[in-house]
């Protein structure tokens, strides 16, 4: 088990290095995408700063909590798609029958295919998340350690959620648009304080659009330095990922090849 | 006169062809519904916590209708910069140059036609959602007429900004980062997320002087709070910005087309 895990982590490192080298072939474009995403996230921080300058407390949340929320979502989303970038076009890959080439490798299909691409802008998100947390929240070592663990949990959640929504193409034909909209809802809800929502919407945030595992539990865990909230966040991420993997492999039985000629460099 | 008819036809053709993509409306409905619901909750909580009936001179229903208009304006923007970027990179611009048309003017009219259709469809969807969430606000025929007068210059200004970014393809490896930064600056400084009245007093005059507020804030404010004096000021600011940006477009375009090298046929 440990040997398998080490072996897989080696594969992750190799793919990340290769994907990064491929991105750096167009160094200017890569840097501009990273910087643009960093600034894009920064604009939201400006919005929240303006908001909290005018209204200092929002249902018990302060500007520091919202910065933590943005740091968590951005770094989780960034890490997920910087390493597992193929999760974004997964619905399209399935619909167009482009999994064949990945089936030829002596590797487990899903964890391998997800490594096939890197989103350049995701590096901007990841850098932004860690930078703003360090610069604005100024955590002690304990808080920072917990923050790093929770960003990994958020990244796992985003990957699992992406697999779940992308796998809908096995059942619905081309579900790219549906997957995009569902992901959009997830990301959007993840960037607003969960305390804004009550009732049925709150329930939605822990089920259909599981943003609460990014926007509430991790922030509470860091506010109170609570292992309980951290474990709940991790359990949510593992649950969503398990569901995604299950739906993917159930759907795979219905997969039809696109008979496409493909070459991978 | 002949030239005007030519460009009007370009605009009408773009509008007609855009009407064919009504399926996009469904995607926008989800997007707008999620965004507007989140904003409604954010402002409901804020009005509730502060006990205010008006913020920035707007009641809660007016605030939501203001946000419907800012989102409608933002989402109706056609992807001008990426298209121009592609025309430059693929050499399609060289083909445009042999036509008896001014490329910037043809692009402007085609963008206006496309935007008009997208704006109308977005407004219908946004208004339906706002009616459902907060009900109607007081509209008058005169007020709506004043609002409509503010639109053409706002659309033109946004086009000029995007045209300049697209022309950047002559010098830059990738202009998508620049476009992202432009759209985010328009979002925050243009008052898309928060009306300018809620910004700190000291920066408000600066923000009103920048062209971004003439694209988003000005028309949206006219929509919920029509005022002839405000419109007069807005049109003067829009006119000045159009003159300055048109000059910049002329300079950049002239410099850009000198760099075109076309071979073959």
**pLDDT, tens digit, for every residue of B67-115?**
999 999 998 888 899 999 988 888 888 888 888 888 999 999 999 998 9
pLDDT digits (tens, 9 = 90+) for A55-78: 988 888 999 999 999 999 999 999
Residue B250 has pLDDT above 90, yes or no: yes
**B71 backbone dihedrals φ, ψ, rounded to 5°:** -70, -40
Chain A residues in contact with B49 by the CB 8 A cut-off are: 55, 57-59
> Residue A111's pLDDT is what?
94
Q: Which of B27, B174, B193 sits opposite A181 (nearest CB)?
A: B27
Q: What is the mean pLDDT of residues A29-43?
A: 89
Beta partners for A26? none
Is B55 strand, coil or helix?
Answer: strand
Is B188 in Cβ contact with A185 (below 8 Å)? no
Asked whether residue A239 carries a pLDDT value surpassing 80, the answer given is: yes
Residues 115-174 of B with CB under 8 A from A: 172-174
- Mutation target to probe the B interface, by most B beta carbons within 10 A, among A25, A44, A54 is A54
Residues in chain B: 265
| pLDDT above 70: percentage of residues in chain A | 98
Judged by a CB distance cut-off of 8 A, whether residue B46 touches chain A is yes
Q: Residue A264: what pLDDT?
A: 63
* Chain A nearest CA to B28, separation (Å): 9
Can you tell me whether residue A220 is helix, strand or coil? Answer: helix
3-state helix, strand, coil split of chain A in percent (to 5) is 75, 0, 25
Q: What is the pLDDT of residue B36?
A: 86
Q: Which two tokens stand for residue A65?
A: 């909590």
Asked whether residue A262 carries a pLDDT value surpassing 70, the answer given is no
pLDDT tens figures, A72-91: 999 999 999 999 999 999 99
Q: How many CB atoms lie within 10 A of CB A137?
A: 17
Verify whether the Cβ–Cβ distance B181 to A47 is below 8 Å: no
A-contacting residues in B 175-204 (Cβ below 8 Å): 176-178, 180-181, 184-185, 187-188, 193-194, 198-200
Quick check: A37 and B180 CB within 8 A? yes
Q: How far apart are CA B226 and CA B240, in angstroms?
A: 22
Question: With an 8 Å Cβ cutoff, is A8 touching chain B?
Answer: no
Interface membership of B205 toward A (CB under 8 Å): no
CA-nearest of A86, A203, A87, A82 to A152 is: A82
Query: What per-residue confidence (pLDDT) applies to A263?
Result: 64
For A129-158, what is the HEC assignment? Answer: HHHHHHHHHCCCHHHHHHHHHHHHHHHHHH
Give SS3 for B64. helix
d(CA A137, CA A153): 20
Contacts with B, A 157-196, CB within 8 Å? 177, 180-181, 184-185, 188-189, 192, 196
Tokens linked to A217: 């539990």
Give the ranges where chain B is alpha helix by DSSP (H).
Answer: 2-19, 23-50, 60-75, 80-90, 92-97, 103-134, 141-167, 176-189, 204-209, 211-215, 217-224, 228-257
């Amino acid at each position: 088990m440990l040997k398998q895990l080490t072996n897989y982590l080696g594969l992750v490192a190799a793919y990340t290095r290769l994907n990064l080298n491929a991105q750096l072939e167009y160094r200017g474009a890569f840097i501009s995408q990273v910087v643009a995403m960093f600034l894009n996230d920064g604009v939201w921080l400006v919005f929240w700063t303006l908001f909290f300058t005018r209204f200092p407390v929002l249902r018990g949340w302060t500007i520091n909590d919202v910065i933590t929320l943005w740091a968590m979502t951005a770094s989780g989303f960034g890490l997920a798609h910087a390493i597992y970038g193929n999760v974004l076009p997964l619905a399209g890959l399935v619909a167009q029958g482009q999994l064949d080439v990945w089936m030829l490798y002596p590797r487990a299909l899903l964890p391998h295919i997800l490594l096939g691409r890197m989103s350049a802008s995701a590096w901007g998100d990841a850098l932004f998340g860690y930078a703003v947390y360090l610069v604005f929240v100024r955590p002690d070592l304990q808080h920072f350690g917990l923050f790093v663990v929770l960003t990994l949990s958020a990244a796992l959640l985003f990957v699992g959620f992406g697999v779940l929504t992308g796998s809908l193409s096995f059942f619905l034909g081309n579900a790219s648009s549906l997957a995009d909209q569902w992901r959009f809802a997830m990301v959007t809800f993840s960037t607003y304080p969960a305390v804004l929502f009550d009732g049925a919407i709150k329930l939605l945030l822990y089920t259909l659009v599981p943003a609460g595992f990014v926007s509430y539990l991790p922030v509470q865990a860091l506010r109170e330095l609570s292992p309980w909230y951290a474990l709940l966040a991790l359990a949510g991420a593992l649950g969503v990922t398990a569901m995604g993997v299950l739906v993917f492999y159930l759907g795979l039985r219905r997969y039809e090849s696109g008979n496409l000629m493909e070459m991978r460099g | 006169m002949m030239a005007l008819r030519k460009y009007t036809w370009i605009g009408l053709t773009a509008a007609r062809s855009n009407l064919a993509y009504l399926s996009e409306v469904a995607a926008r409905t989800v997007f707008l519904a999620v965004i507007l619901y989140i904003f409604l909750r954010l402002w409901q909580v804020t009005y509730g916590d502060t006990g205010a009936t008006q913020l920035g001179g707007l009641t809660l229903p007016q605030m939501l209708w203001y946000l419907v208009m800012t989102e409608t304006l933002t989402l109706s923007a056609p992807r001008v910069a990426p298209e121009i970027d592609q025309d430059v990179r693929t050499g399609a611009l060289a083909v445009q140059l042999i036509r008896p048309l001014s490329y910037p003017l043809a692009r402007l009219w085609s963008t206006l036609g496309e935007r008009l259709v997208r704006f109308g469809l977005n407004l219908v969807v946004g208004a339906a959602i706002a009616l459902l969430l907060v009900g109607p606000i007081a509209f008058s025929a005169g007020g709506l007429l004043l609002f409509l007068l503010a639109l053409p210059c706002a659309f033109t200004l946004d086009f000029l900004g995007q045209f300049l970014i697209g022309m950047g393809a002559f010098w830059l490896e990738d202009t998508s980062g620049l476009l992202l930064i432009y759209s985010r600056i328009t979002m925050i400084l243009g008052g898309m997320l928060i009306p300018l009245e809620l910004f700190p007093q000291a920066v408000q005059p600066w923000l009103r002087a920048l062209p971004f507020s003439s694209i988003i804030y000005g028309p949206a404010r006219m929509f919920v709070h029509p005022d002839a004096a405000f419109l007069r000021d807005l049109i003067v600011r829009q006119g000045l910005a159009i003159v300055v940006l048109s000059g910049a477009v002329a300079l950049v375009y002239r410099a850009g087309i000198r760099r075109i090298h076309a071979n073959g046929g």
